[in-house]
Chain A
Amino acid sequence: NAGVTQTPKFQVLKTGQSMTLQCAQDMNHEYMSWYRQDPGMGLRLIHYSVGAGITDQGEVPNGYNVSRSTTEDFPLRLLSAAPSQTSVYFCASLGGRDRNEQFFGPGTRLTVL
């Protein structure tokens, strides 16, 4: 199993550009989520999905869109990048013995100039 994979690892954007952060998991997990992490802020939930075709907003959804057309993939779209979206983005899927353990991808480090 590859676990949770994220691409790209690093990205630099200009203000106003759009892009999609990719996330995929091969563990057949239903629940997936996106977080952003800023210094001193911990991880803040952007969007999450409890299964294919179902998504919901987290704590900081503005400026981001998600879709979940398959169980494996959960892409995060930045519609019009802003400097405030400079952050490290983590994707996670929920599984484990009790389906209570989140498995995280390695993160995408995004800088918006």
Chain B
Amino acid sequence: RKEVEQDPGPFNVPEGATVAFNCTYSNSASQSFFWYRQDCRKEPKLLMSVYSSGNEDGRFTAQLNRASQYISLLIRDSKLSDSATYLCVVRYSSASKIIFGSGTRLSIRP
């Protein structure tokens, strides 16, 4: 079983829709959580960190559920420019490895 698992998608939704992705992690000792965005044939870039109390950045909301060991990303009022692959990332501690999920592909149609 992979340490970090994501639904690969693709999610194909109309512009303006709300879409949500989940990501599960297997190691309960995981400490830090992130969502990265990767455009086609480009390097990944940090979208947002995920905090225990949940956090919002504009149209994006991230949630962490430690009891069930999953994190989620909600995108409201989706734009064409949101089309990308979204990668869930988990870090165990400040001196340890950083593990990526396999990514969820999102396609926004006009």
Q: Using a CB–CB distance below 8 Å, which chain B residues touch chain A?
A: 3, 6, 8, 32, 34, 36, 42-46, 49, 87, 89, 91, 94-95, 97-103
Question: B45's contact among A35, A100, A104, A107, by CB below 8 Å, is which?
Answer: A104
Question: A40's contact among B8, B34, B95, B100, by CB below 8 Å, is which?
Answer: B8
What is the CB-to-nearest-CB distance from B47 to chain A, in angstroms, rounded to a whole number?
Answer: 10
Majority DSSP secondary structure for residues of A touching B: strand
Question: A100-B32, A100-B34 in contact; A45/B99 too (CB < 8 A)?
Answer: yes
Q: Does the CB pair A107–B43 fall under 8 Å?
A: yes
For A45, the closest partner residue in chain B by CB is: B97
> What would 14 A/B residue contacts be, using CB atoms closer than 8 Å?
A33-B97, A40-B8, A42-B87, A42-B101, A43-B87, A45-B98, A45-B100, A56-B97, A58-B97, A98-B49, A99-B94, A101-B46, A102-B46, A102-B98
In the complex, which residues of chain A have a beta carbon less than 8 angstroms from the beta carbon of B32? 100
Q: Using a CB–CB distance below 8 Å, which chain A residues touch chain B?
A: 33, 35, 40-45, 48, 50, 56, 58-59, 90, 94, 96, 98-102, 104-107
Complexed CA–CA distance, A105 and B42 (Å): 9
For A98, the closest partner residue in chain B by CB is: B49
Complexed CA–CA distance, A104 and B39 (Å): 13
In the complex, which residues of chain A have a beta carbon less than 8 angstroms from the beta carbon of B34? 100
The interface centre, meaning the residue of B36, B98, B99 with most chain A CB atoms within 10 A of its CB, is B98
In the complex, which residues of chain A have a beta carbon less than 8 angstroms from the beta carbon of B94? 99
The 10 closest A-B pairs by CB, nearest first: A42-B102, A104-B43, A43-B100, A101-B46, A42-B103, A42-B100, A50-B95, A45-B97, A58-B97, A48-B97
Q: Does the CB pair A90–B98 fall under 8 Å?
A: no
| Further contacts, 8 of them, CB under 8 A, given A40-B8, A43-B87, A100-B34 | A40-B102, A42-B6, A42-B103, A48-B98, A59-B99, A100-B49, A102-B98, A104-B45
